[in-house]
Every structure is written in C-alpha cells, then in structure tokens.
Structure 1
Amino acid sequence: MEMVPDKQKLLELAHYKMPFGKYKGRFLVDLPLAYLVWFRQKGFPNGKLGEYLRTTLDIKDNGLEPIIRKIQKEFPLE
C-alpha cells in the first residue's frame, strides 16, 4: 500500500499554532521535544491538535524540522 502525503494537511501543520498553555501561539514545530514527549506519555488531545502534535513529534524524532520550516517560508499564510 502506497502512502500519499496530503499536501493541504502538511501546509496546515506547518502553520498550526499551539492554542493553549505555556506555549500558546507558538508553531507546533517550535515546541520543545520534551513537551511533545510529555504529551505522548500523558495522552495526546483528541482531534486535529492531537493528530498534529503526534505528527510533529514524529517529524522532530526523525530530524525533518527543516522541511516544515521550508514550507513555512515558501508558502506563507496570507
């Protein structure tokens, strides 16, 4: 089974900001790794935020942050 990335979701993830807490207003990719690991241990929130936090942790674990930063730079939200 071939996985096909969803370009719109990736663009949204790149520009998604933390909606609450100590890091409110920060892009998810800018969240500290320890904070994302804490969510994994305690349980990610339901819905889109949880999905994006989980994905951001995978991105950081695999050293793919430069891709997200490139998307932010080359496809700014208007």
Structure 2
Amino acid sequence: MDRTILLDLTSYRMPYGKYKGVAICNLPERYLIWLRSKGFPEGKLGMLLNTMYEIKLNGLEYLLKGLKDPSHRS
C-alpha cells in the first residue's frame, strides 16, 4: 500500500455531511458501508473513502497505527 494514501487517510477530512470535519480514518464503519451502498463520490475523496472501507472491512486498521496525527482525531 502506498504510504502517501495512508497518510491522506489520516489527514484528509470529510468535507460535507453528518461527519463533516472528521478525518477519513475516523469515520464509523457503518457510515462507510452506507456511503458504499449509495456510491462513493468521484475523484480523490471517493478513492480515499473506498480505501478506508476496504481497510475496515478486512481488519487492516493496523496499517494506520502510528500515522494518526493527534490533531486529526476527531
């Protein structure tokens, strides 16, 4: 996995919706499942959401361990 993508998952924040301002890595799994059922958006945001969905689905959260910035924990 590309480390840049993993870093983006910890720093990129959801730009809209119920979880606006929450780092992608901190989105609840149920929300990612819901988004997937609706269809992820186009572009980088969609790619990051899909990647986080796959990470959570497959129990790979350990990939993000040590990358989370304490200022992005919300």
TM-score band (shorter)? Answer: 0.7 to 0.9
Normalised by the size of structure 1, how large is the TM-score? Answer: 0.77
Determine which structure has more spread, i.e. the larger CA radius of gyration: 1
Provide the aligned length of Structure 1 versus Structure 2.
71
1:34 is matched with 30
| Structure 2 unmatched ranges of 5 or more | none
Q: Is the 8 A contact 1:14 1:69 kept in 2?
A: no
1:13 and 2:1 are equivalent in the alignment: no
1:66 and 2:72 are equivalent in the alignment: no
RMSD over aligned Cα, in angstroms? Answer: 1.9
Normalised by the size of structure 2, how large is the TM-score? Answer: 0.80
CA distance in structure 2 between the aligned counterparts of 1:70 and 1:19, rounded to whole angstroms: 24
| Structure 1 unmatched ranges of 5 or more | none
Which structure ranks higher in relative contact order (CA pairs < 8 Å, sequence separation ≥ 6)? 2
Opposite residue 56 of structure 1, the aligned amino acid is M
